[in-house]
Structures are given as structure tokens and as C-alpha cells.
Amino acid sequence: MPSRKTIALVAHDNKKEELVAWAKLNRKLLARHSLYSTWTTGQLLKTRLGLKVTLLESGPLGGDQQIGARIAEGQIDFVVFFSDPLQSHPHDADVKALLRIIVVWNIPVACNRASADFIVSSPLMATEYERLAPDTSRHRVRLPLSAALSVAADHAHLASP
């Protein structure tokens, strides 16, 4: 992780104002890093604070998944996701998938203002950091295609009347 971090900023609807207020207090620090955000949150950060933000889709339209893909590709260093645990969300499965990818790839995540404050005030924000990535070798080794097709055919045969 370089000294210039790539940060994903996300907030549920009821937490967008809180994220904007937090970002306003940390605007100078955030401006020194590369920022990505889901659409509506990013628009607020751009228009209200003048931050340069790469906009992804809205969360329900795939923005959470876009952030997850960038994490898997090694392009996101940490995530600030002000989530609202007291309200149901139509794209809850996407949010859970994003949080799963964050954990799998050992990415720091702040889910509220206090944890965001701790992350950005860490001495590691201004330095390089070697994040331990998971050993994915056992997940990358799969059955050869012919064996996988044979297993699938056996399952189909067993399922047929």
C-alpha cells in the first residue's frame, strides 16, 4: 500500500450527511489521496467539498460490486462505509458481498465516524504499508474442466427421474 492511498467512500442514504460532515473535517487529508465513491455519495463529496472523486454506479445499481471488484484487483487500499444498520436495504446482498470481499482481502474498513477517525489519524496513513494479502492458491486450483463436467453430469443424472 503506497503512501498515497486509494480510498473508497460509501454511505447509506441515512448516513450520507454524516459522511459528508466527516469528510469536510478531513477534506485536506482526503484531497491528498485517490478517492472512489458510489454515485450519490460521490456527487455530494464533489459538489459540496470540491473533492476529486471517481464516481462508480449507485450502490443498488452495482456500485458496491464495482468497489469489491477493485478490491479484488488490488486497487483499493481501504474503505470508509458509513452503513445504516437500523434500516433494511434493497441491495443488502451486495453490501454483504462487499463486506465479505473486504474481509477476504484484508482491507481496513471504517463503518462509522469513530473508526474512520482512527484510520485517518493513524501514522500509517502517511507511509507505505505492506498489507498481508490472503493465500488464494488453494482456491485457484480447481478440478480440470473434464472432471468438473463429469461431476456436473453425474449430479444431473442423479437428479433426473
Given the residues 64, 77, 94, 117, select the one marked as catalytic. 64
Q: Are 76 and 10 in contact (CB under 8 A)?
A: no
Cell 469528510 locates to: 23
Known catalytic residue: 64?
yes
Give 79's contacts (C-beta < 8 A, 6+ positions apart): 7, 8, 9, 10, 67, 71, 98, 102, 107, 108, 109, 110
Strand order in the sheet with 6-11: 53-55, 34-37, 6-11, 78-82, 109-110
Integer-rounded Cα radius of gyration of the chain: 19
Catalytic residues: 64
